[in-house]
Amino acid sequence: MAMATISTALRWSDISAAGSRELPADTKSSGSTKAAKGGTTKAKEPATKTSSVDPRLGPGEIVMITPAPIAQASYYKVGDYVTFAWNYTSLVIEPAKIDVFVTCQANSASYAISNNASFEPTGSVVWDTKPEASGTAPLLTETYTLIIHDASKDVTSVPQAGRLRTYDQLRFGMYKPQPYKSLKGKLPLLPNR
C-alpha cells in the first residue's frame, strides 16, 4: 500500500513541476492541489467506487439454518413446499442480489427458486415443488443440490476475499409418492409344518 502512495506522490510532483493544470485521467484522489502557476485544480471523482479487502481474508460463506447442518439426510415429497434458510459468515462486501436454485445431475436440469432476490442478513426461500409450479423438467425421485450465489457473478467464479463464495454443499432427496397397491392375494403361501 505504501508503494502506491509513494508512486502517487511522485506523479503529483511531476505534474506540479511540469506546470500542468490537468490531472491524469487515472487519478483516483479527490480534493484540490496547487498547480505550478498558482492556480487550483479540482480532481475528478472516480466513476466507480471500489472497496478494498485484505486479500488474506477468506471468502464469505453460507451456513444453513434449515435444514439444520447437523441433520441427517433430508427427503422431501414432490408437490410439497420446501423451506431453506441460511446465515452468512465472513462477508465484508455484501452482494446486492442473490440467486437460489436447485440442480439434479440425473436429468441435467436446474430449477430456479429465487432470482435476483435482495440481500438480507438471514436468507430464506420457500420452494413450491408442485409439477405445474416448476415449469421445467419434471422432478425425479433423485438427489438434488441447493445452489446459492451472488447474482452478479457466475456460479463457477473463483471466490474472492470478503465476497460471497458460491454455496453448493447441501444435498437432499426428492421422491414421488407412489399410489397404494394392495398385496392381497399376491403374497406367496408358506408351507405348513
Query: How much is the pLDDT for 51?
Result: 66
What pTM was estimated for this model as a whole? 0.67
Residues 58 and 86 sit within 8 Å (Cβ to Cβ): no
Q: How far apart are CA 62 and CA 183, in angstroms?
A: 47
**In this predicted structure, what is the pLDDT of residue 137?**
87
Query: Which uninterrupted H or E stretch holds 10?
Result: helix 2-18
- What are the tens digits of pLDDT across the range 4-40? 333 333 333 333 333 433 434 443 334 433 444 444 4
Output the tens digit of pLDDT for each of the chain's 193 residues: 333 333 333 333 333 333 433 434 443 334 433 444 444 444 444 444 456 888 889 999 999 999 988 888 899 999 999 999 999 999 999 999 999 999 999 999 999 999 999 999 999 999 999 876 656 789 999 999 999 999 999 999 999 999 999 999 999 999 998 888 777 766 666 666 6
The residue with cell 452482494 is 95
Average pLDDT, the chain: 77
Strands 75-77 and 171-175: parallel
